[in-house]
Amino acid sequence: MLMDRYSLLQKIGIYIGIFIFLLFVLLPFIEMFRVSLRPLDHLMTADFTWWSNDFSFQAYRDMWVTVPLLGRYILNSIFIATAVTIMTMVVVVPAAYSYARLDFPFKSLSLGLFLAVNMFTGAVLLIPLYRVMRTLGLLNSYWAMIIPGVAFLIPTGIWLLRSYLEKIPKELEEAAYVDGASRMYTLRRVVLPLAVPGLIVVATSVFIGAYAQQFLFAITFNNQRELQPLPAGLFEFIGYQDVTWNQMMAAALTGVLPVMLFFLLLQKYLVAGLTAGAVKE
Amino acid sequence: MATLDLSHITKSFGTAQVLRDIDLAIKDKEFVVFVGPSGCGKSTLLRIVAGLEEATSGKIFIDGRDVSREPPVQRGIAMVFQSYALYPHLTVYENIAFPLRVQRLAEAEVRQKVTKAADILQLTDKLDLKPGQLSGGQRQRVAIGRSIVRNPKVFLFDEPLSNLDAALRGDMRVELSQLHGSLNATMIYVTHDQVEAMTMADRIVVLNAGKVEQFGTPMELYHHPATKFVAGFIGQPNMNLIPSTVKGTGSDGLTVELSGGHVMTIPVETKGVSAGAKVEVGIRPENVELGRGMDVKINVLERLGGVSITYGTLAGTRFCASLPGDAAIREGETIGLTMNPRDAHVFDAAGKVLRRTMAPALVA
Q: For B136-146, write each residue's pLDDT tens digit.
A: 889 989 999 99
Residue B25: pLDDT band with limits 50, 70, 90: very high
Count of alpha carbons within 13 angstroms of residue B41, beta-carbon side: 25
pLDDT score recorded for residue A278: 36
Distance CA B314, CA B244 (A): 12
Output the domain CATH number for residue A144.
1.10.3720.10
Distance CA B192, CA B171 (A): 18
Task: Give domain status of residue A62, yes or no.
Answer: no
Task: Give domain status of residue A32, yes or no.
Answer: yes
Contacts of A193 in chain B (CB under 8 A): 89
- Domain tally, chain A: 2
Residue B182: pLDDT band with limits 50, 70, 90: confident
Out of B79, B84, B132, name the one closest to residue A178 (CB): B79
Distance CA B9, CA B50 (A): 13
Within this chain, do residues A10 and A129 fall inside the same structural domain, yes or no? no
Judge contact between A203 and A273, C-beta under 8 A.
no
Contact between chains at A172 and B85 (C-beta distance less than 8 A): yes
Task: Give domain status of residue A113, yes or no.
Answer: yes
Within this chain, do residues A36 and A80 fall inside the same structural domain, yes or no? no
Within this chain, do residues A176 and A42 fall inside the same structural domain, yes or no? no
Within this chain, do residues A82 and A31 fall inside the same structural domain, yes or no? no
H/E segment holding residue B138: helix B136-148
Question: For residue B345, how far is the Cα from the chain centroid?
Answer: 20
Instruction: State mean pLDDT over A79-96.
Output: 94
pLDDT score recorded for residue A276: 47
Query: Which runs of consecutive H residues, i.e. helices, occur in B201-299?
Result: 218-223, 228-233
SS3 (DSSP) at B80: strand
Q: Is A21 on the interface with B (CB under 8 A)?
A: no
Within this chain, do residues A10 and A121 fall inside the same structural domain, yes or no? no
pLDDT score recorded for residue B361: 80
Q: Is B299 on the interface with A (CB under 8 A)?
A: no
Contacts of A103 in chain B (CB under 8 A): none
Contact between chains at B103 and A193 (C-beta distance less than 8 A): no
Range of the domain at A201: 67-275
Per the rule left: phi > 0, alpha: psi between -120 and 50, beta: everything else, B335 is beta
Nearest to B121 by CA among B73, B33, B169, B182: B182
Q: Which of B53, B73, B105, B144 to mutate to test the interface with A (most CBs of A within 10 A)?
A: B73
Q: Encode B178-221 in three state secondary structure.
A: HHHHHHCCEEEEEECCHHHHHHHCCEEEEEECCEEEEEECHHHH
Contact between chains at B88 and A281 (C-beta distance less than 8 A): yes
Residue B62, judged by CB atoms within 10 A of its CB (0-12, 13-18, 19+), counts as buried
Contact between chains at B85 and A194 (C-beta distance less than 8 A): no
Within this chain, do residues A21 and A71 fall inside the same structural domain, yes or no? no
Instruction: State mean pLDDT over A1-18.
Output: 85
Within this chain, do residues A73 and A45 fall inside the same structural domain, yes or no? no
Q: Tell me the angle at which helices A126-136 and A196-221 cross, rounded to the nearest 10 degrees.
A: 80
- For B100, nearest residue in chain A (alpha carbons): A179
Out of A175, A190, A193, name the one closest to residue B81 (CB): A175
H/E segment holding residue A144: helix A142-166
The pLDDT tens digits of the residues spanning B295-320 come to 999 999 999 999 999 999 998 899 99
Within this chain, do residues A117 and A40 fall inside the same structural domain, yes or no? no
Task: Give domain status of residue A280, yes or no.
Answer: no
Within this chain, do residues A110 and A47 fall inside the same structural domain, yes or no? no
Distance CA A232, CA B144 (A): 61
Judge contact between B4 and B62, C-beta under 8 A.
yes
Distance CA A45, CA A55 (A): 14
The pLDDT tens digits of the residues spanning A50-81 come to 677 778 888 888 888 888 888 899 999 999 99
Contact between chains at B102 and A181 (C-beta distance less than 8 A): yes
Distance CA B65, CA B111 (A): 32
Contacts of B87 in chain A (CB under 8 A): 172, 190, 194
Within this chain, do residues A170 and A221 fall inside the same structural domain, yes or no? yes
Distance CA B12, CA B219 (A): 33
Give the least confident one: A198-207, A212-221, B196-205: A212-221
Give the least confident one: A244-253, A272-281, B139-148, B153-162: A272-281
Higher-scoring residue by pLDDT: A277, B255: B255
H/E segment holding residue B308: strand B307-314
Within this chain, do residues A109 and A224 fall inside the same structural domain, yes or no? yes
Q: Is B84 on the interface with A (CB under 8 A)?
A: yes
Task: Give domain status of residue A247, yes or no.
Answer: yes
SS3 (DSSP) at A94: helix
Question: Would you say residue B58 has pLDDT above 90?
Answer: yes
Within this chain, do residues A119 and A229 fall inside the same structural domain, yes or no? yes
Q: What are the distances in angstroms from CA B88 to CA A168, B52, B79?
A: 11, 22, 18
The alpha carbon dihedral of A54, A59, A61, A66 has a sign of positive
- For B155, nearest residue in chain A (alpha carbons): A178
Angle at B82 between CA B80 and CA B86, to 5 degrees: 65
Q: Is A278 on the interface with B (CB under 8 A)?
A: no
Contact between chains at A178 and B77 (C-beta distance less than 8 A): yes
Contact between chains at B88 and A280 (C-beta distance less than 8 A): yes
Contacts of A181 in chain B (CB under 8 A): 98, 102
- pTM tops 0.90, yes or no: no
Q: Looking at A56, A79, A99, which one is the last position of a domain? A: A56
Q: Is B99 on the interface with A (CB under 8 A)?
A: yes
Task: Give domain status of residue A226, yes or no.
Answer: yes
Task: Give domain status of residue A61, yes or no.
Answer: no
Q: Which domains, ranges and CATH numbers included, belong to chain B?
A: 4-232 (3.40.50.300), 237-347 (2.40.50.140)
- For A181, nearest residue in chain B (alpha carbons): B102
